[in-house]
Structure 1
Amino acid sequence: MASEELVRGMLYLSLTVAGVPGNLAVILAFLSLLYQDKRLLVADVIVLHLACVNLTAVAVRCLPETLASFRLARIFDDAGCKGVIFVYRMSRSLSIWLTFVLSAYRCLSVAPPGSRRASVRTLAARYLGPVFLVLWLVNACMTSAAVLFSFGAGNASASHSINVEFCFVNFPSELSKEANGAAQVGRDVVPMALMALASLVILLFLYKRSRQARGRRGGGSERRAAKAVVTLVTLYVVLYGVDNGLWVYTLTVKKTMSSSLVSDLRVFFSSLYAALSPLVVIASNRKVSGRLGCAVKVRVGEERAATLSSI
């Protein structure tokens, strides 16, 4: 096995090991809370949806890339490429927009009662299901090019192609390649700007609240939730900023076939958000960390009981 393939396989393996258990833990914690309380807060529903999307992104892209790098499986024929690229790109895009929805809702949540933003928050909570549906439909339509133009490595075309290592996206013309790239950049930059604005509002709220709360206690859970959203947004801006910078390089590079190394770096940085975001949720959400802590204590208790019964 070549050293390049070994390094690639280890990188994708690290993302798989961090992302799959982390997102599964968040999902199971919220499902446990839903079973116990019969309801979830709106912000918890958004985070649960985000964890499901991130789990899909890591499992669909990083796991197959790991298997292919270590030559354990060959699933990247034409059908495999179309499926993997379509599901991954749609999950990646949904992850971005759900992070924006979470930051926007948290921004509305810090509004004073009776204000216009508070009424918008109530309206958003009521129609959260249709919002999710619209996001799924819009992102599915914008990712349709992956189904039309993705092919296995054996069917690569030398003109207007983007190398994604085990697959190639063969565009019919340079104009279609640039238009698709511009649409993807716009799809990422728009929510980036909006969530950055929402995070600025949240930071201003935290600053004012910290000045008002000097010398007295209270509001700790509210501040912790707001800081967690700002952390997620910062993580997104850094990682997807690098990802989009590499994507712009891919579109403007003079070579007809873009380097597979650039593609690997793009997938790594975009998948890194899906792998690290559940760690932020677990560290900042006491309900999730408490639920996971209870599960660990129950398992330890069962193991101790089994050990004592066997003595």
Structure 2
Amino acid sequence: MNPQEILLSIVFCFQTLLGMLGNSFLICLFILVFLTGHTLRPIDPILTQLAFANSLVLLCKGIPQTMAALGLKNFLDDGGCKTVFYLHRVARGLSLSMTCLLSGFQAITISPRVSRWAELKARIPKYITATCVSCWTFYLLFCITVIENIKGPGSSRNSSDTHQYEYCFASVKTKEYRILSTFIFSLPDAMCVSFLVLASGYMVLLLSRHQKQVQHIHKTSHSSSRVSHEIRATQAILLQASAFVCFYSLNSILVAYMHSRNPILGLVQCSAFLASCFPTVSPFLLICTDSQVLRYYGGLWPRNVALFNLSVCPSWA
């Protein structure tokens, strides 16, 4: 095993363990809050499903990539490759859709009561369950074609009709078919990214207007030297949006490029790393920017009641 393989295995292993730690914390926390009878916010089921989808992305991408970097190329059979790639594609789509649903829920929640969203704001908690079920159903059906195209290392193949992804292989169709499939699979990603940018821009605009309205209050208060809640909330939204757009846009470009030709090993590894970046950092961004998570933690363990008084970041609705 050469130093490059050792380094890659360490990077993928660390990324997977770190991401699983953060996402598992959120999942367990929300489950415990629910089981102990505490009242959950309407947004918490979305956060739980986002953490679960992120965990599935890390398991289906990080563990196989770590094993492949260690030199284990034939640890999956044909059924294993189909399952891993299918679950990863479904989880990736759910992570995208739940992030966009989270952003849309926030945008409607903080909108003024006199706006056109006022009526929807009161009813949106009733639509969350149905929307989440629709997202699950869509991606479970949308990603079925992955099962047909992915082959295991033991399948009969030749180098001219397959694309190699280290531990599995993808069937190569005609050029027209590859272009069409790339467009179809990229369409939901593009829609999610566009929606997130619009929703985040709308929230930033609302918070900026509100910050200007109360600017004179901050100037006369003793806490004028501290960063206002509006500015911190704006920074948190920009941080989430930037991470989302950056990682998934770069990964989508790489995936589209690899679908158009036989991918080289370096691009496959880079794409795998980028695909796991947002699921890794997302739970820590959520913990940092949502002070209600700390309040839940403090409520479950009275010794940590001091966390109730923390004002590290603004609480989401």
1:286 aligns with 2:315: no
Partner of 2:315: none
Q: Does the CA contact (< 8 Å) of 1:157 and 1:170 recur in 2?
A: no
Cross-structure match for 1:264? 269
Give the Å deviation of 1:294.
7.3
1:65-96 deviations in Å (ceiling 9; x for gaps): 22343357953211111010000111011101
Q: Deviation of residue 296 (structure 1)?
A: 8.5
Structure 2 unmatched ranges of 5 or more: 305-317
Which among 230, 240, 244 is matched to residue 232 of structure 1? 240
Change (3 A) 1:95 1:276: same
Deviations 1:257-301 (A, max 9, x none): 3212212111211211000000101111112234446779969xx
Which secondary structure state, in structure 2, belongs to the residue aligned with residue 153 of structure 1? coil
1:184 equivalent in structure 2: 185
- Take 2:138 and 2:250, find their aligned partners in 1: how far apart are those partners? 24
Partner residue in 1 for 2:167: 166
Q: Distance in 1 between matches of 2:161 and 2:175?
A: 6
Contact 2:162/2:169, CA 8 A, preserved across alignment: yes
- Residue 209 of structure 2 aligns with an amino acid whose one-letter code is K
Q: 1:140 to 1:16 in 2, by over 3 A?
A: same
Distance in 2, matches of 1:274 and 1:71, equals 25
- Segment drifting more, 118-127 vs 204-213: 118-127
Following the alignment from structure 2 to structure 1, what is the Cα–Cα distance between the partners of residues 116 and 125? 14
After TM superposition, the structure 1 stretch with the greater mean CA deviation from structure 2, 135-144 or 285-294, is 285-294
* Contact 1:100 1:195 (8 Å CA) reproduced: yes
Cα distance in 2 between the residues matched to 1:227 and 1:27 = 25
Counting only pairs closer than 5 Å after superposition, residues 54-133 of structure 1 correspond to structure 2 as 54-70=54-70, 75-133=75-133
Greater Cα shift, 171-180 or 279-288? 171-180
Deviations 1:94-121 (A, max 9, x none): 1011111111111111112253212223
1:45 CA drift (Å): 1.9
Structure-2 change in CA distance of 1:4 and 1:180 (3 Å)? farther
For 1:157 and 1:107, the matched residues in 2 are separated by 51
1:251 to 251, 259, 276: 259
Instruction: Indicate the residue corresponding to 1:32 in structure 2.
Output: 32
Letter in 2 for 1:25: F
CA–CA distance in 2 between the matches of 1:153 and 1:37?
Answer: 49
Q: Deviations over 1:152-179 (max 9, x none)?
A: 2343443353332211111343333222
Amino acid at match of 2:272: V
Q: Percent identity?
A: 22
Cα drift, residue 222 of structure 1: 7.4
Given that residues 53 and 91 in structure 2 are in contact (C-alpha distance below 8 angstroms), is that contact kept between their aligned partners in structure 1? yes
Q: How far apart, in 1, do the equivalents of 2:211 and 2:301 lie?
A: 35
Query: Hey, what does 2:214 align to over in structure 1?
Result: 213
Change (3 A) 1:247 1:90: same
Give the Cα separation in 1 of the matches to 2:187 and 2:295: 39
Contact 2:94-2:136 within 8 A present in 1 as well = yes
SS in 2 for 1:116: coil
1:44 shift after superposition: 2.0
Q: Structure 1 residue 56: deviation in Å?
A: 1.1
Deviations 1:173-217 (A, max 9, x none): 333322221112212111101110111101101111111122437
Partner in structure 1 of residue 308 of structure 2:
none
Give the whole-Å Cα distance in 1 for the aligned partners of 2:216 and 2:85.
Answer: 53
> For 2:74 and 2:250, how far apart are their aligned partners in 1?
29
The aligned amino acid for 2:162 is: S
Separation in 1, partners of 2:266, 2:118: 47
Unaligned runs of 5+ in 1: 300-311
- Contact 2:74/2:167 (CA < 8 Å) preserved in 1? no
Q: Is the 8 A contact 1:20 1:58 kept in 2?
A: yes
The verdict on how the C-alpha distance between 1:114 and 1:33 changes in structure 2, with shifts beyond 3 A counting, is farther
Question: Which one-letter code corresponds to 2:87 in the other structure?
Answer: V
Residue 216 of structure 1: SS of its match in structure 2? helix
Q: Deviations over 1:120-164 (max 9, x none)?
A: 233332121111111111112221121111112343443353332
1:305 aligned partner: none
- Which whole-Å CA distance do the structure 1 matches of 2:217 and 2:171 have between them? 62
